[in-house]
């Protein structure tokens, strides 16, 4: 799949994203195992916080690599498409979070796990990518 | 972007912003007032709770309108870049907080605060971007 991509910037982006996905899964498993097997004596100690944050680092890496891709991409149209998709994703995720937050606050809706925010953002970005592509076909 | 300059798109944005914030304040007071007096439940409660969220979602829409109406390409570029930095910062904070919530059981962060975090990051990134491209 990665080999069929002609743009070098897109190829690099895909490779980096897959590495970040693999790291995120790996570090999530490591963090879960550490908390399950080691039962840290102080669950609010610095070490516990550091282990808990580990799986978030590849996610931050993926965000940085998205910015790097935008800087490296030579094709202005492709860059425009991604920026539009990201803005669509931003609008979608912030709309859902604001509405859900108010429902949590005022109507006692169940808590939304914040881990789902990042994948939900990419779902919205993916939907807006399809819409933008159809618009400019 | 300044509300006092001669840029018509920026002036329209500021007017819309003021109206939207006023609607937000009114809808928040209305929703809380009804909840305190009538204690609604079910779908009505959810619909009422979403009411103050609509103007906040509107803030994004009017910023999008500003970007569409802005004639100055540099200002539009700064606006888009600041939004990208805003969502990047928000997603980074939210993801770290989410993992801390899951593993270390820290206090739950209300999702509606994410839009506040987003606008803070946007606000920080605008002067930095302007300084960078000066």
* Cβ–Cβ < 8 Å for B66, B125: no
Pairs from A104-112 (Cβ < 8 Å, separation ≥ 24): A104/B110, A104/B111, A104/B112, A105/B49, A105/B110, A105/B112, A106/B31, A106/B32, A106/B35, A106/B45, A106/B48, A106/B49, A106/B52, A107/B45, A107/B46, A107/B48, A107/B49, A109/B46, A109/B49, A111/B108, A112/B111
- Residues A109-118: tens digit of each pLDDT: 999 999 999 9
pLDDT confidence of residue A40? 63
HSE toward the beta carbon, residue B4, CA cutoff 13 A: 0
A94 contacts B118? CB cut-off 8 A: yes
Count of structural domains within chain A: 2
Task: Using CB atoms, pick whichever of A49, A51, A90 lies closest to residue B87.
Answer: A90
Same structural domain, A86 and A26: no
Q: Collapsing DSSP states into helix, strand and coil, what is residue B134?
A: coil
The pTM of this model reads 0.88
**More confident call, A68 vs B1:** A68
Question: CA of B58: which chain A residue's CA is closest?
Answer: A95
Same structural domain, A59 and A4: yes
pLDDT confidence of residue B21? 94
- Residues A68-104: tens digit of each pLDDT: 999 999 999 999 999 999 999 999 999 999 999 989 9
Same structural domain, A83 and A117: yes
- Residues B65-103: tens digit of each pLDDT: 999 999 999 999 999 999 999 999 999 999 999 999 988
Most B CBs within 10 Å, among A27, A45, A52, A128, to test the B interface = A52
Same structural domain, A19 and A47: yes
Question: CA of A42: which chain B residue's CA is closest?
Answer: B104
Same structural domain, A64 and A25: yes
Same structural domain, A60 and A106: no
Same structural domain, A42 and A81: no
**Spacing of C-alpha A11 from chain mean position:** 18
Torsional sign, CA B15, B20, B25, B29: positive
Same structural domain, A3 and A18: yes
Same structural domain, A66 and A111: no
Most A CBs within 10 Å, among B35, B63, B79, B95, to test the A interface = B95
Residue A104 corresponds to which tokens in the numbers above? 């949590």
Shortest distance, CA B37 to any CA of chain A (angstroms): 13
Examine the fold and report which residue of A42, A57, A74 is the final residue of a domain before the chain moves on: A74
Same structural domain, A50 and A80: no
pLDDT confidence of residue A48? 87
A56 contacts B99? CB cut-off 8 A: yes
- Residues B24-77: tens digit of each pLDDT: 999 999 998 998 888 888 888 899 999 999 999 999 999 999 999 999 999 999
Residue A7: band (very low, low, confident or very high) from pLDDT cuts 50, 70, 90? confident
Q: How far apart are CA A35 and CA A52, in angstroms?
A: 9
When pLDDT is averaged across residues B10-34 and rounded to a whole number, the result is: 93
Q: How far apart are CA B67 and CA B79, in angstroms?
A: 7
| Residues from chain B contacting residue A106 (CB–CB below 8 Å) | 31-32, 35, 45, 48-49, 52
DSSP states of A65-118: HHHHHHHH---HHHHHHHHHHHHHHHHHHHHHHHHHHHHHHHH-PPPPPGGGHH
Residue A3 corresponds to which tokens in the numbers above? 């080999």
Q: Which structural domain range is residue A65 located in?
A: 1-74
| Residues from chain A contacting residue B129 (CB–CB below 8 Å) | none
Examine the fold and report which residue of A56, A74, A92 is the final residue of a domain before the chain moves on: A74
Task: Using CB atoms, pick whichever of A44, A103, A116 lies closest to residue B46.
Answer: A103
């Amino acid at each position: 799949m990665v080999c069929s991509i002609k743009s070098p910037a897109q190829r690099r982006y895909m490779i980096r994203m897959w590495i970040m996905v693999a790291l995120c899964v790996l570090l999530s498993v490591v963090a879960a195992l550490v908390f399950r097997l080691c039962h840290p004596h102080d669950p609010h100690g610095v070490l516990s916080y550091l282990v808990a944050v580990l799986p978030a680092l590849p996610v931050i890496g993926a965000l940085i690599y998205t910015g790097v891709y935008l800087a490296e991409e030579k094709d202005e149209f492709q860059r425009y498409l991604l920026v539009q998709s990201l803005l669509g994703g931003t609008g979608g995720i912030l709309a859902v979070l604001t509405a859900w937050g108010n429902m949590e606050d005022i109507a006692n809706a169940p808590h939304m796990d914040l881990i789902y925010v990042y994948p939900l953002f990419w779902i919205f970005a993916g939907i807006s990518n399809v819409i933008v592509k159809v618009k400019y076909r | 972007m300044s509300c006092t300059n001669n840029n018509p798109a920026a002036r329209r944005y500021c007017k819309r912003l003021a109206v939207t914030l006023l609607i937000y304040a009114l809808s928040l007071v209305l929703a809380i007032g009804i909840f305190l007096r009538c204690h609604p439940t079910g779908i009505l409660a959810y619909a009422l709770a979403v009411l103050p969220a609509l103007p906040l979602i509107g803030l994004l829409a009017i910023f999008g309108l500003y970007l569409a109406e802005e004639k100055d390409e540099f200002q539009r570029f700064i606006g888009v870049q600041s939004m990208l930095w805003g969502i990047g910062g928000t997603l980074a904070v939210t993801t770290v907080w989410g993992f801390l919530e899951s593993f270390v059981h820290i206090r739950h962060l209300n999702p509606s605060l994410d839009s506040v975090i987003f606008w803070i990051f946007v606000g920080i990134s605008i002067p930095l971007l302007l300084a960078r491209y000066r």
